[in-house]
Structure 1
Amino acid sequence: MVAFARSPVTAVLGPTNTGKTHLAVERMCGHSSGMMGFPLRLLAREVYDRVVAIKGPAQVALITGEEKIVPPHARYFLCTAESMPITGDYAFVALDEAQLGADPERGHIFTDRLLRARGREETMILGSASIARTVKALVKDVEIIGRPRFSTLSYAGAKKLSRLPKRSAIVAFSAEEVYAVAEMLRRFRGGAAVVMGALSPRTRNAQVQMFLNGEVDYLVATDAIGMGLNLDVAHVAFASLRKFDGRRTRRLTVSEMAQIAGRAGRHHKDGTFGSLGGED
């Protein structure tokens, strides 16, 4: 059992599939109130559903740019980072995927929450081990705890679309590419779920549920799936290694590739990753 008493602010850092978010949810539910900030609407929704199952719908709020469910007496708030009501008084506060403080577009939001969002009794910062030095420099008296990955992640090389293993996620970097890959998968393999930010919350939730329920064995998504979604993916295939980041088209960084590929494998189940090969 990890002791958290030495510092009111704890940074739990490590690669994907280390149980960081699960640990934070457990810690929050042990307090009288709490708030967690996430990088994705889908991830906030996923954790909201988990906390509702523990605490009941009357105790739990969801606040994102698209959805707002706030019961009158809610004590636990699950939010996107931009929607975190940081002026409130919460016993526990956590910020997930804090390494987004380096993002050119959203970095100022995550840096602000890193510096100012605090729980009355406990604060947790979750993220990649790459930000350990930055967190130490910015947060006084922070206690840093490393978390090892639960399972092994292996490179599986290039695979043709028609030969991808079941429970694969194909990651693309434009809406056109997502829909093109999904259409080819429907022809080759019978079906695929599509997940990207341009979809409505209801549609996105329904697509994720299709994949989780096993109605389809393939998921085509933007790189948003790298941000902590628990999708029971066995293999991640990159449709491309280049993306438009809002300013220019560039190659993915090593840390971005690792974050996305790391979605393969769940808990102690090993995962693989690779690229998408040519057509049959």
Structure 2
Amino acid sequence: MTSNHSAPEHESDDDQLCSELGLPARGIHLVKMEGRVFLRFSGEVRDAGLTVPYELVPAQGVLAKPSKWRKMDRETRLDLLRERSGERAVRELHDGAAAFVRELAGECEDYGLDAMTFLRTLEDLQTSEPAGVVFDRVRQRLEHAVERQREERHAERTKQSINLAEYPASFEVARRLPRKFIALLGPTNSGKTHRAIEALAKAPSGIYLAPLRLLALENYERLQGFTAHGKPLAVSLVTGEERRVVEGATHVASTVEMLDTRTLVDVAVIDEIQMLADRDRGAAWTAAVCGAPARTVYLVGAPEARRAIEALAERLECQLEVHVLKRKGPLSVEATSVRKLKNIRRGDALIAFSRRDVLMWRDMVTEAGLSVATVYGNLSPEVRRAQAQRFRDGAADVVVGTDAIAMGLNMPIQRIVMTSSVKFNGYEEEEIPAALARQIAGRAGRYGIHEEGLVAGFDDETHQVMRALLKEKPAPLNTSGFSVAPTLEHLHRIASVTGETSLAKLLKRFVHNIDVPDGFFYPRITEDQSGRAEWLDSLPLSVAEKFTMSLVPISGKVMSLQNAWEHWAISLSRSKPTRLDPERQPLHHLGLHEVEDTCRLYSAYAWLGYRLPEYFPDIAMAQDLSRQASERVDTLLQDQNAATRRRHSKKFR
């Protein structure tokens, strides 16, 4: 037979060869597919109470590629067929198939699965791959089925272990109390927080819950100005990074995440209640509303939160009293945009939406001859307060800041000037929502200082956008889907029914598998926590330790901070305490951004110190170093302002 024979002649010749060797009668077939010429053995295994037919390729069943097969002469092909189809090859394949059937049947019995669901593949899977590869594929299918079965079982157990409809009942003190909600809703400068704080100060005991450390600190000092029985009110301050605990304190100012749900008080004030809708932190407000252990709970915030508050009050079976307050002074949009730096005036606040833009505008305004106070989110609360105080005292003509000024800083601003109406939302640049525009603009025209507040855009486009946004009615908050974040107790409960120890998997189970009967409460985790969990799972840490480390308030986008966090986690995994060395990085050698990050680093260390004091023991030192860093930031900001003004004065001599 020569290589130029046609395919049908080859096939006819191959059939004759197979018949000559008696292969079809023995259940052996010559097959050409997938670029191979090979032998397939047919047979049947009767074992483990099963009858399993098979069509499999033996280990040495592949004979050649079609091109090479065609070039072989008849005798060569006959010899190769005879060699590869012998009784030994048939017996080895059959014994291997029988052993595999026994193995798989046993495993299927262990897991309560039907073995034939998988073993039918031995006859149905038409492939040139050797039997061993086919067996591995079937094993893989079984593994996936077992994993699916385990996943379904664990999902069901998780669902049975946590029912979010019962979430409010987890707050035992609040659950037993007859609670009354008083909603004080209104725009900025409507006096709602002032009214709530006065009611809090008059109560025998109480707690103020703030969205920011800065607000907690301001109202801590405010409460200290009140008296009870002729003595100053005894007030403690509790934030994630700081504790100023006064023995016998009747009142506490706290960040919302630090709510003590076990200590009964007469009055609780939950500030900025519209934060219920916040993507990352809303769960803390849900917990506060459900768990504040007070007979009277003041819910203070924007009017758009009203329907959400009403829904929560009804669900929690709490009496609700709603007061809608009006702004104490008028707020007007200027006739035209500002357009030029020379039109910036004393008492203005310029708003930008990034640290870089704030510093750029600060320099431009300073070069225009005005002194500037600077406020942005990367600054510590202490620096923000110091900068705001300079503006209040008249040491600064203008304040330039981000929307950080919209919450927690009371300043005598006459006019808000928006340098942009576009903000990065964590994913993309987008126009700010009407609610934020209204909150920022509302900072203009402090009651008792200015007759009215003014708002303008620096450029024409921003001016027109702000005019439209302030006319727009903010969308009301949703009346269901209130965020609930996992607690350590939740994760331990899931772990106990699933045997899972991976934090990433426990968090995913919490989000995807717990029972959410009507969607009124809904499970949420942040992307930061989810990403950190996967990295933490690579370390030998307990679920509790991983959970704590996943919540450290430190930015993973800043490399030095991310490296510090990873170092802390690794040290904890080795049961090795992390100590601070104040001499390691002298502040006077660092630039502004580096000192800001150093301040955040020490604050995060203090946060950890309160939760894992055995491994982060230098809390007092961290707080002291954080204060030093804050002072250094404030000094650098003032020095930069002064240097810019000196350059300006030289230019115009």
TM-score under structure 1 length normalisation: 0.90
Out of 249, 252, 276, the position equivalent to 1:77 is: 252
Q: Mark the CA change 1:204 to 1:41 in structure 2 (over 3 Å): closer, same or farther.
A: same
- 1:58 CA drift (Å): 7.1
Out of 308, 332, 348, the position equivalent to 1:154 is: 332
The equivalent of 1:3 in structure 2 is none
Out of 286, 289, 306, the position equivalent to 1:114 is: 289
The equivalent of 2:413 in structure 1 is 233
CA distance in 2, matches of 1:61, 1:245: 35
Tell me the secondary structure at the aligned position of residue 142 of structure 1.
strand
Give the residue type in structure 1 aligned to 2:352: A
Deviation per CA, 1:169-225, whole angstroms, max 9, x where unpaired?
A: 111111101111111121113311111221133322211111111111211111122
Give the residue type in structure 1 aligned to 2:190: T
Query: Please, which moves more after superposition, 149-158 or 62-71?
Result: 62-71
Give the residue type in structure 2 aligned to 1:233: I
Q: Is the 8 A contact 1:115 1:139 kept in 2?
A: no
Give the residue type in structure 2 aligned to 1:158: S
CA distance in 2, matches of 1:168, 1:144: 34
Give the residue type in structure 1 aligned to 2:212: L
Query: Please, which moves more after superposition, 108-117 or 48-57?
Result: 48-57
The equivalent of 2:226 in structure 1 is 54
CA distance in 2, matches of 1:41, 1:54: 21
Q: Mark the CA change 1:93 to 1:175 in structure 2 (over 3 Å): closer, same or farther.
A: same
Matched, 1:30 2:210: no
Q: Is the 8 A contact 1:58 1:71 kept in 2?
A: no
TM-score under structure 2 length normalisation: 0.40
Tell me the secondary structure at the aligned position of residue 158 of structure 1.
coil
Structure 2 gaps of 5+ residues are 1-178, 461-653
CA distance in 2, matches of 1:64, 1:189: 39
Q: Is the 8 A contact 1:58 1:73 kept in 2?
A: no
Q: Once superposed, what is the RMSD of the aligned Cα atoms?
A: 1.9
Q: Indicate the structure with greater helix content.
A: 2
- 1:57 CA drift (Å): 7.0
Q: Is the 8 A contact 1:37 1:44 kept in 2?
A: yes
Out of 279, 284, 308, the position equivalent to 1:134 is: 308
Structure 1 gaps of 5+ residues are 1-6
Larger gyration radius, structure 1 or structure 2? 2
Matched, 1:221 2:401: yes
Deviation per CA, 1:3-42, whole angstroms, max 9, x where unpaired?
A: xxxx821111111111001001100111111111112222
Q: Is the 8 A contact 2:370 2:398 kept in 1?
A: no
Tell me the secondary structure at the aligned position of residue 294 of structure 2.
coil
Q: Is the 8 A contact 2:226 2:233 kept in 1?
A: no
Out of 254, 267, 274, the position equivalent to 2:447 is: 267
CA distance in 2, matches of 1:212, 1:57: 26
Out of 211, 215, 225, the position equivalent to 2:391 is: 211
Q: Is the 8 A contact 1:48 1:62 kept in 2?
A: yes
Query: Please, which moves more after superposition, 176-185 or 85-94?
Result: 85-94
Q: Is the 8 A contact 1:60 1:76 kept in 2?
A: yes
CA distance in 2, matches of 1:65, 1:192: 31
Q: Is the 8 A contact 2:226 2:232 kept in 1?
A: no
- 1:244 CA drift (Å): 1.4
Q: Is the 8 A contact 2:225 2:233 kept in 1?
A: no
Tell me the secondary structure at the aligned position of residue 139 of structure 1.
helix
Tell me the secondary structure at the aligned position of residue 189 of structure 1.
coil
Q: Is the 8 A contact 1:12 1:126 kept in 2?
A: yes
Q: Mark the CA change 1:124 to 1:77 in structure 2 (over 3 Å): closer, same or farther.
A: same
Q: How high is the sequence identity, in percent, across the aligned residues?
A: 35
User: How many pairs are equivalent?
Assistant: 271
Give the residue type in structure 1 aligned to 2:332: S
Deviation per CA, 1:116-154, whole angstroms, max 9, x where unpaired?
A: 22413x210011111111111111331111111111000
Give the residue type in structure 1 aligned to 2:407: M
CA distance in 2, matches of 1:45, 1:162: 36
CA distance in 2, matches of 1:52, 1:117: 22
Tell me the secondary structure at the aligned position of residue 337 of structure 2.
strand
The equivalent of 1:4 in structure 2 is none
Q: Mark the CA change 1:132 to 1:58 in structure 2 (over 3 Å): closer, same or farther.
A: closer
Q: Mark the CA change 1:101 to 1:214 in structure 2 (over 3 Å): closer, same or farther.
A: same
Tell me the secondary structure at the aligned position of residue 411 of structure 2.
coil
Matched, 1:67 2:221: no
